Amino acid sequence: MAIPYVLDAAHLLADRAIRRGDLAVDATVGNGHDTLFLARSVGPGGRVIGFDIQQEALDETRRRIQADASDTSLRLIHAGHETMATHLGENAYGTVSAVMFNLGYLPGGDHSMTTTSETTWSALDASVKLLRPGGVITVVAYTGHEGGEEEAYAVESWASALPEASFRTLSYRFVNQPSDPPRLYAVEKRVG
C-alpha cells in the first residue's frame, strides 16, 4: 500500500532524522517494538534511552533488544517520561535525534496504566529541549479509551502552539475509518 499506516509513518519520519551513532529516546517503551526500531536505526555505537512505568514492559524489551540489537547501548528507566529531562540531564539538551511516544496503555496489559494529558504534555516540553536541530518527535495517540480523546487534543494543542519559525509540525490520520483510528503528530526542530 502506498499510504503508510500510522505506526509505520512514525517510523519513517523518525528514520529520516536518525543517523548511525545517534541518541534516541523511546518515551513509552511498552512491548519494545519502537525501542527495537530505534536501536536498529542508531546502530552499533548509537544509544537508546527508554521510559516506562511498568517494570514488566522494560524486562520484556530488554530481552527483545538483547536478541535482535545487542550492539546498541540501551538504558531502560523505570519512571514516567515526564522525568526525561532530569534523567538525561542538561548536557543532553540539543543532542537527541528522535523521541517517540506511543500513548495509551500496554496492549494485553493493565488498561489503567495509561499515559495522561498532563504527564504527556510535560514530557513533550522536555523532548523539545532535548531535540537536536533536524531532530523529530513522533506521537501516536489513541482516542478509543477513557481520556484518550482529551490527550490527543492536548497533544494537538501543544504541537499547534510551537512557533513556526523554529518547528515544523504535522498531524496524520485516516479520515474514512469508522472506529477511532489512531493519529500521528510529528514535530521537527528546524535547523538554523
Write out the residues near ligand SAM by the rule CB under 6 A. 28, 30-34, 51-54, 57, 80-82, 102, 104-106, 113-115, 119
Give the CA distances from residue 9 to residues 77, 96, 112, 145, 164, in Å, rounded to whole numbers and listed in that order: 26, 19, 27, 22, 22
Considering beta carbons, is residue 46 or 50 the nearer one to ligand SAM? 50
Residue 105 or 185 with smaller CB distance to ligand SAM: 105
CB of 8 to ligand SAM, least distance (A): 12
Nearer to ligand SAM, 110 or 190 (CB): 110
Find the helix packing angle between 33-42 and 6-17, rounded to 10°. Answer: 30
Cβ-based nearer residue to ligand SAM, 97 or 120: 120
Min CB(10)–ligand SAM separation in Å = 10
Least distance between ligand SAM and beta carbon 41 (Å)? 14
The candidate with the shortest Cα–Cα distance to 88, out of 126, 35, 42, is: 126
Q: Where would I find the H helices in the chain?
A: 6-17, 33-42, 55-68, 84-88, 117-130, 148-160
Rounded to a whole number of angstroms, the minimum distance from the CB of residue 165 to ligand SAM is 30
Which string of DSSP letters, residue by residue, matches 85-97?
HHHH-GGGTT-EE
CB of 156 to ligand SAM, least distance (A): 18
Which residue of this chain has its Cβ atom nearest to ligand SAM in the complex? 30
> d(Cα 106, Cα 151) in Å, to the nearest integer?
16
Which CB, 32 or 135, lies closer to ligand SAM?
A: 32
